[in-house]
Amino acid sequence: MKKTLLLSIFSFSVIGLTAQITLTSADIASPTKAIRQANDTMPTVTIGNAGASQTWNMLALNNHTEDTLVFLPNSSSPPPFASANIALKFGFQNAYAYLSNTASAATILGSAAVVDFGGGPSQVVVVNTPAEKLANWPATYNSTFTNVYSTKSKYYFGVDPGIGVPIDSVRTHGKVNKTVVFDAWGTIATPLGTYPVLRAKTTKITRDSTDAYVAFLGGWQDNVATSADSTASYTWWANGIGFPLVELTLDSLGGIREATWLQALPMTVGVNECTTAVDLNVYPNPAQNEVNFMVDSKIAHSMVIYDITGRKVDSFMITSDLSTINTSAYANGSYTYSVLGLDNIILARGKFSVAK
């Protein structure tokens, strides 16, 4: 009797582990979750087969570099992304993707970042029209969709890229043909653990063109650069995780160019540390006699600066998008800062140094 009971338990465990799963909107992480990804730049794993009841062994994945992603409430997005309900922050950079996750689909409306190409910081906003589709819900084995969308952006550039005259501004136009098919289900083993999963195969054909505004030449110069690219990738999704366990990106010959994998289960971060996505740029860094903080003054309220020992050395109210601090009295060394919102909620933290 005992032996029969143990065999029954084992049988049900195997069935539960290998049963086909269904993905829903609940399988996308919600605010405020932090995702830690590892990147394997020389992967030795294989893609495996499509079909039902597959087994994938990804235990050989290595950790060469790491990325941190944070899912935030979308309370401070640029106007094109007001309908997003998630702002996905990439690591410690001022870069965000804006997502809409509903009961019927998950989409990416676009992205925004503060970038300095050499002529000063510029807000770069890329809008997807219509939104890029990640998945239709529910997603099951053999679910598939095609998504055709355009990308568009325009931003200040401000430097000479080697043509003899500076490019004042740049605008880009793109067209993407995307196809996703959930082509397999089964069980995957990764350094994080073993999970029942659905696998999605994504192919993209992208055509881009770039225009440049050159005052010396009298205005906009259309199609100064064009490109076309085709990419393919595979992602493995599990229930209740919130992010792909593994993603393999292929090169032009069909080999695996890069692998990213979930290094730890998503963690909830304190709402007092990231209740909103705030774009922040600090320059020059290192500073000599002054340092500039560029941040949206409609969101940020004040800033506090500490020395390396944690002693508060300065604080000030943020009244405009650009705040300049005199550092001539600061000693050489490293400093940290905290950007506070209206309710003294910490919106961002960072570091800068003074070297005279």
Instruction: Give percent above pLDDT 70 in the chain.
Output: 88
Residue 49, number of CB atoms within 10 A of its CB: 12
- C-alpha distances in Å from residue 153, one per residue of 68, 86, 125, 230, 244: 25, 21, 6, 21, 28
Half-sphere exposure of 37 (CA within 13 A, CB side): 22
Of the chain, the end-to-end C-alpha distance in Å amounts to: 81
Instruction: Give percent above pLDDT 90 in the chain.
Output: 51
Tens-digit pLDDT profile for residues 313-341 = 999 999 888 899 999 999 999 898 888 87
Query: In this structure, what are the phi and psi dihedrals at residue 53, rounded to the nearest 5 degrees?
Result: 55, 50
Is the model's pLDDT at 1 over the cut of 60? Answer: no
Tens-digit pLDDT profile for residues 21-50 = 999 999 999 888 888 899 999 999 999 999
Candidate from 99-113, 123-137, 258-272 with smallest mean pLDDT? 258-272
What domains appear along the chain, each with residue ranges and CATH number?
A: 21-268 (2.40.360), 280-354 (2.60.40.10)
- C-alpha distances in Å from residue 254, one per residue of 50, 230, 347: 15, 11, 42
Tens-digit pLDDT profile for residues 168-201 = 899 999 999 999 999 999 999 999 999 999 999 9
Which residues, in sequence order, are CB contacts of 317 under 8 Å at separation 6+? 301, 302
Is the model's pLDDT at 299 over the cut of 50? Answer: yes
Average pLDDT over residues 54-83: 84
Residues 134 and 24 sit within 8 Å (Cβ to Cβ): no
Average pLDDT over residues 61-89: 82
Average pLDDT over residues 244-254: 94
What is the predicted pLDDT for the residue at 4?
39
3-state helix, strand, coil in the chain (%, to 5): 5, 60, 35
Average pLDDT over residues 147-164: 90
Confidence bin at 78 (pLDDT 50/70/90): low
